[in-house]
Amino acid sequence: MQYRRLGRSGLQLSQLSLGSWVTYHNQVNASAAREMLAAAMDAGINFFDNAEAYAGGKSEEVMGKAIKALKWPRLNYIVSTKFFWGLAGEGADVNRRNTLNRKYLTQAIDGSLARMGLDFIDLVYCHRPDPHTPIEETVWAMSDMIQRGKALYWGTSEWSADEVRSAWDIAERHHLHKPVVEQPQYHLLHRKRVEEEYARLYEDIGLGLTTWSPLASGQLTGKYLDGIPKGSRGARKDMGFLTQRLNDAGRNAAIRQLATVAADLGCSLTQLALAWATHNPRVSSVITGASKMAQLTHNLGALEVVPKLTPEVLSRIDGMCAPLIT
């Protein structure tokens, strides 16, 4: 396992990390989470990603219980969470849903700390941009969160380059804590935001990246090539928005081609996709997911594939993906 600085901060993250979207509470209880967190830590993973909205707050509770049971020294691990959507069951209160206003953010961090049983969160994200709240208000609220010791670093998720730069400029102008990281989707077929839109931000403001969906919601594992299997993520009712993409003939044809590259390298499609994502030096950490120990172990095998991604192999991969890249 290698470790990379989070942008220009001094925080170092493992190149692969472990997330909890979809899995925690829905597929993974506190006992299973404890087992997988322990195995991840033994393999060198030190960063564990979460969000307030995952499983309506239950994901944070599962992770918090698992971490408490493991009794890790607080210095040894990094935990994140994200704010924007609020929690199910909060009613129609417009100040607690789909917002990044000061009121919501000030209270949201307290809820996450309580659910995770922590005194502070290492890394907090604004989970989506909020077009209805001035960015300046959000920047002040996030900086105040850090100033009060409830978080150590903050960043954004799925913000445009202009929005990230605007937030950074406001913080710079007012001597506030700046955003140090963006968490975008990034995989073999979805690259342009990371590789093109954000290109100037890496040098200009020192932006770090913790990327999500390296397997394109499971499509890059190859398990959807012959339809959507029962019991898979794609078959879940709350994942219906993935159906069209998972059944896309063009994408699946490219994935069949990518399988030949994986075979030549002696690895699985999953490991190839993860290795490709972490091969980008701009990516501080690639967030992986697992509902079973076997999946976690298999994902970690991607580290052995990274050195095999020669310029020739990468060029071959690009040729297969080029017509479909977004």
What tens digit of pLDDT does each residue of 215-247 get?
999 999 998 887 666 655 555 565 555 667 777
pTM exceeds 0.85, yes or no: yes
Which of 90-99, 165-174, 308-317 is predicted with the least confidence, judged by mean pLDDT? Answer: 90-99
Confirm whether 313 is domain-assigned: no
Task: Please classify residue 240 by burial: count the beta carbons closer than 10 Å to its beta carbon, then call 0-12 exposed, 13-18 middle and 19+ buried.
Answer: exposed
Confirm whether 242 is domain-assigned: no
pLDDT value of position 248: 83
Catalytic residues: 54
Confirm whether 248 is domain-assigned: no
The residue type found at 213 is S
Q: Which parts of the chain are beta strand (E)? A: 3-5, 12-14, 16-18, 47-48, 78-83, 121-126, 151-156, 179-182, 208-211, 285-288
Confirm whether 236 is domain-assigned: no
What tens digit of pLDDT does each residue of 261-317 get?
999 999 999 999 999 999 999 999 999 999 999 999 999 999 999 999 999 999 999
What tens digit of pLDDT does each residue of 13-69 get?
999 999 999 898 888 899 999 999 999 999 999 999 999 999 999 999 999 999 999
Confirm whether 84 is domain-assigned: yes
- What's the CATH code of the domain at 112? 3.20.20.100
Give the chain's domain count. 1
Question: Residue 203 contacts by C-beta under 8 Å, 6 or more apart in sequence?
Answer: none
Number of C-alpha atoms within 13 angstroms, CB side, residue 230? 0
pLDDT exceeds cutoff 90 at 89: no
Q: Domain of 104?
A: 3-218+277-291
Confirm whether 240 is domain-assigned: no
- Whole-angstrom Cα distance, residue 131 to residue 133? 6
Confidence tier at 163 by pLDDT (50, 70, 90):
very high
Confirm whether 257 is domain-assigned: no
Which of 150-154, 230-234, 256-260 is predicted with the least confidence, judged by mean pLDDT? Answer: 230-234
| Secondary structure element (H or E) that encloses residue 40, with its range | helix 30-42
pLDDT exceeds cutoff 80 at 95: no
Confirm whether 244 is domain-assigned: no
Handedness of CA 197, 199, 203, 206 (dihedral sign): positive
* Span 146-170, average pLDDT: 98
Average model confidence (pLDDT) for the chain?
A: 93
